[in-house]
Amino acid sequence: MYEHSRRMFTALLPLLSAGDDLETKRRLLHHCEVAVRRLGEGEAPGRLTQRLFLEVRPLIGPSDALTALELVERHVNALHHATLRARVAPITRCAGRNRRGRPCGRDAMRGQDYCTSHRDLADATLPPPVARQR
């Protein structure tokens, strides 16, 4: 779960209006962590998107609000689907390859295509970071 909130945090970070203010970053990370936990507890993605957006909006410049909403929505939905897959999916073999080009052979993380060593390959298929609108 930690990686999901971290990913959401990293995506929203460039939109912070207060820039490198440490307290603002902490608040953003906190909101992301709480949101991921709420989703795990069964909160509906639509409602969660709305709630998280309202929480992070004061931290973000007005011109980036729409971008923030789209980011929040995409990440909440991606996480929601990952959670659903994880509940029903059997554990499969990792789709990654070792340095010799042979199949990795380790168990993939539940509901995912790659093991912990090859999780970076899975990250490559996530929504791309959004360019700032200036």
Q: Is residue 96 near Zn ion by the rule CB under 5 A?
A: yes
Stretch binding Zn ion (CB under 5 A), from 23-31, 33-41, 48-56, 94-102: 94-102
Q: Is residue 7 near Zn ion by the rule CB under 5 A?
A: no
Q: 33: Cβ–Cβ under 8 A, 6 or more apart, which residues?
A: 5
H/E run at residue 46:
helix 45-56
- The closest alpha carbon to 72, from 122, 9, 6, belongs to 9
Residue of 15, 32, 118, 122 that binds Zn ion (CB under 5 A)? 118
Residue of 94, 109, 112, 122 that binds Zn ion (CB under 5 A)? 94
Q: 29: Cβ–Cβ under 8 A, 6 or more apart, which residues?
A: 5, 6, 9
Residue of 13, 18, 78, 104 that binds Zn ion (CB under 5 A)? 104
Residue of 59, 79, 115, 122 that binds Zn ion (CB under 5 A)? 115
* Contact present, 67 and 130 (Cβ < 8 Å): yes
Q: Is residue 68 near Zn ion by the rule CB under 5 A?
A: no
Strand partners, 60: 16
Shortest approach of Zn ion to residue 20 CB, angstroms? 36
Interface ranges with Zn ion (CB under 5 A): 94, 96, 104, 106, 115, 117-118
